[in-house]
Amino acid sequence: MIIVMKNDAPGGEIEQICEEMRDRGLTPEKIIGAHKVVIGLVGDTQELDPDHVQDVSPWIEQVIRVEKPYKRVSREFRHGQVSEVVVATPQGDVTFGQGHNIVVVAGPCSVEDEAMIIATAKQVKAAGASFLRGGAYKPRTSPYAFQGHGESALGLLAAARQASGLGIITEVMDAADLDKVAEVADVVQIGARNMHNFSLLKRVGAQDKPVLLKRGMSATIEEWLMAAEYILAAGNPNVILCERGIRTFDRQYARNTLDLSAVPVLQSLTHLPIMVDPSHGTGWAPYVPAMAKAAIAAGTDALMIEVHPNPSKALSDGPQSLTPDQFMALMQELAVVGNAMERWPQLATVS
Ligand code: PEP
Ligand code: MN
């Protein structure tokens, strides 16, 4: 249930309503917008009559029941106000959010060695990326495939962060590694295979770093939003949703089906920022530019693109990785679409 306050409702009145709701065993969450304050009520509101809540104060404009199974992530919970995820990086704050400039995250699938990760970081930064991605712990389908260099790769990401000034996004697969990952990462990634790992979701929800939540490869949008709800319910409001392709019947030409319709669908359902990953979405480098441009046209807030200095030698996901030169050329094309959408240059988001 949400309580929408009238414009310019006094702070003391809002506090009193929150207190009253606490007395009724509910947890009020205040969302302060440009003109209005909305109070989201979490807890068992089944028995609560919206008309009775309305009578609590003359400053209440409206009381609305949120019928969806997810609450905090729903668009209604913030009464239509979108949320921003502001990430502190060595170069300053970068803002992810609907209506902000597009943020680009780029880098190799896996961190392979120090020279490659630092060189790639500098190259993607020169092309205009704000974040370096790179896996230290890799969720591989085969137990015999390269599993990532683990903790030592985290050290290399820290070195690349320092050398380039880029923020770092890297995946945590196991709650036992979370503290180490969160120490280096500016944004902690939950991969597609762990979207349903509820205990891991609760753990990343209970720490402070923003979370990039990838869509499970067979997850419905509602399941994905419920996974995000776990993170918000555990206390962390800073979640970015990443569409990375889903499994459909045809895998002959593309690794996954990139569900770009998820972008406008999510915009209608949630206030959270949205990212699109055309690299895992297509699995094939020549298809990445078209889908990256389409994602911007569809309204994504961010892009994740795999870039490797020598894709044919990559230890994972070489076929879908762009070279640094290809990435540089792509960024120029993206700027054209980004400008048309009035969401470029992304440098404007770096303060
Ligand atoms: C990745 O980002 O490297 C990755 C493994 O992605 P996903 O979880 O989407 O497969
Ligand atoms: Mn990958």
Asked if residue 264 and residue 229 are part of one domain, the reply reads yes
Q: Residue 3 forms beta bridges with which residues?
A: 39, 63
d(CA 125, CA 111): 16
Asked if residue 50 and residue 118 are part of one domain, the reply reads no
Token pair in block for residue 1: 């249930």
Average pLDDT over residues 243-267: 97
CATH number of the domain that 28 lies in? Answer: 3.30.70.1140
What tens digit of pLDDT does each residue of 278-292 get?
999 999 999 999 999
Q: With respect to residue 232, please indicate whether it lies within any of the assigned structural domains.
A: yes
pLDDT of 349 strictly over 60? no
Q: With respect to residue 343, please indicate whether it lies within any of the assigned structural domains.
A: yes
Name the residue of 242, 244, 315, 321 to mutate for ligand 1: max ligand atoms within 8 A of Cβ. Answer: 244
pLDDT of 331 strictly over 60? yes
Closest residue by CA, ligand 1 atom 4: 191
User: Do residues 117 and 108 lie in contact, with contact meaning Cβ atoms separated by under 8 Å?
Assistant: yes
> How many separate domains does the chain show?
2
Number of neighbouring beta carbons within 10 Å of residue 64: 14
Cα-based distances in Å from 117 to 64, 164, 296: 50, 10, 27
192 DSSP 8-state letter: G
Ion ligand 2: residue ranges with CB closer than 5 A: 109, 317
Give the number of the atom of ligand 1 that is nearest the alpha carbon of residue 242. 9
Asked if residue 172 and residue 109 are part of one domain, the reply reads yes
Which helix (H) or strand (E) is 265 found in, with range?
A: helix 262-269
Beta-carbon-side half-sphere exposure of residue 236 (alpha carbons within 13 Å): 24
Identify residue 250 by its one-letter amino acid code: D
Give the number of the atom of ligand 1 that is nearest the alpha carbon of residue 135. 3
Closest residue by CA, ligand 1 atom 6: 191
Asked if residue 127 and residue 255 are part of one domain, the reply reads yes
Of 45-54, 143-152, 172-181, the one with minimum mean pLDDT is: 45-54
The pLDDT score that the predictor gives to residue 35 is: 79
Asked if residue 150 and residue 43 are part of one domain, the reply reads no
In sequence order, the 6+-apart residues with CB closer than 8 A to the CB of 86 are: 93, 94, 95, 96
Number of neighbouring beta carbons within 10 Å of residue 66: 18
Beta-carbon-side half-sphere exposure of residue 149 (alpha carbons within 13 Å): 15
d(CA 8, CA 36): 7
Asked if residue 287 and residue 200 are part of one domain, the reply reads yes
d(CA 52, CA 326): 61
Average pLDDT over residues 246-272: 97
Cα-based distances in Å from 333 to 131, 135, 292, 339: 19, 27, 10, 10
Q: With respect to residue 76, please indicate whether it lies within any of the assigned structural domains.
A: no
Q: With respect to residue 50, please indicate whether it lies within any of the assigned structural domains.
A: yes
Q: With respect to residue 283, please indicate whether it lies within any of the assigned structural domains.
A: yes
The pLDDT score that the predictor gives to residue 350 is: 46
Helices (H), 1-113: 11-23, 50-54
Q: Buried (b) or exposed (e) across 109-118, using 16+ Cβ within 10 A?
A: bbbbeeebbb
Instruction: Say what the pTM is.
Output: 0.95
Beta-carbon-side half-sphere exposure of residue 69 (alpha carbons within 13 Å): 9
Q: With respect to residue 71, please indicate whether it lies within any of the assigned structural domains.
A: no
Token look-up 């609560």 returns 48
The pLDDT score that the predictor gives to residue 348 is: 45
pLDDT band at 92 (very low <50, low <70, confident <90, very high): very high
How many angstroms does the Cα of residue 257 sit away from the middle of ligand 1?
Answer: 14
Q: Is 125 in the pocket of ligand 1 (CB under 6 A)?
A: no
Identify residue 253 by its one-letter amino acid code: Y
The pLDDT score that the predictor gives to residue 78 is: 92
Helices (H), 165-244: 178-184, 198-205, 221-233
Residue range of the domain that includes 238: 85-349
How many angstroms does the Cα of residue 77 sit away from the middle of ligand 2?
Answer: 34
Asked if residue 158 and residue 220 are part of one domain, the reply reads yes
Q: With respect to residue 15, please indicate whether it lies within any of the assigned structural domains.
A: yes
The pLDDT score that the predictor gives to residue 80 is: 87
What tens digit of pLDDT does each residue of 182-220 get?
999 999 999 999 999 999 999 999 999 999 999 999 999
Asked if residue 166 and residue 51 are part of one domain, the reply reads no
Ramachandran region, residue 235 (left: φ > 0; alpha: ψ -120 to 50; beta: rest): left
Q: With respect to residue 77, please indicate whether it lies within any of the assigned structural domains.
A: no
CATH number of the domain that 341 lies in? Answer: 3.20.20.70
Q: Which of 111, 185, 182 is nearest to 146 (CA)?
A: 111
